Amino acid sequence: MPSPFDLSGKVALITGGSRGLGREMAVGFAAAGADVAVVSRKLDACRAAAAEVEALGARALALACHLGRWEEIEPMVDAVYDRLGRIDILVNNAGMSPLYRSLEAVTEEAFDKVVGLNFKGPFRLTALVGGRMHAEVGGSVINISSIAAMEASPGALPYAGAKAALNALTLGFAAAYSPNVRVNSIIAGAFGTDIADHWADPRDRDHPGWTREGWRIGQPGEIVGAALYLASDAASYTNGAMLRVDGGPIRVRRAAQRSEPASSSPR
């Protein structure tokens, strides 16, 4: 019998797909049979990730797009449909959370950038792609949210608010485009990607398996199973869900103990 996680014949668009969790999902989806459009701000990085997808026998498309700028989003979507023919899976993964010294030091420009990339961009992209999926053969939208939205830290408060808003989009779009388009969130915890270079505790960066209080940092590839589930027919009855992939409850949040705020992106 065919695997329920088989993505053969599907096309996935992954934002923030050139590095970190996005790259892991791009490679994981290609291994499952999907063609992948890799989108991020830096075209060279997208091309490198697309080459990894093509090495697995899948078609790939590398596109540069700033997801916080609506004028760039629609041409990017049109390019994916023109080159790959369809979009069956949309992963809203691009995100950022710049460091700041204090809440009072957060500038309006920095705040707007965080909201633009983590909330405004996914709204517009999901409206364009999800609406077209709904009018055609359906599909799956996966929003990569954050545990910060549920356990907000003073060190990443604009990011936490934007990700909470993204969770609200998940529920709203799930209702708008059901039953043939499923919209779900992965609530991601801390993963040992390249963003860990900004973490205050170097052990977090150097040893993703390091534990404290019965908890560990996730390996980047550990996001793929959840993403494959939500992208595939295995999740045919899963819609509007918030799936936590964070290693489980944490008794003590280390972010609250740090002298410097943590950076959560760009992924």
Q: How far apart are the first and last CA of the chain?
A: 36
Q: What are the residue numbers of the active site?
A: 159
- C-alpha 145, offset from chain centre: 7
Is residue 125 within 8 Å of residue 92, measured between CB atoms? yes
List the beta bridge partners of residue 211: 216
Q: How far apart are CA 181 and CA 80, in angstroms?
A: 19
Mark out the alpha helices in the chain (DSSP H runs).
Answer: 20-31, 43-55, 70-84, 108-115, 121-135, 157-177, 202-206, 224-231
DSSP letters, 96-136, are -----S-GGG--HHHHHHHHIIIIIHHHHHHHHHHHHHHHT
Q: Compute CA distances 48 → 42, 52, 54, 81, 189, whole Å.
A: 10, 7, 10, 21, 26
- 50 forms beta bridges with none
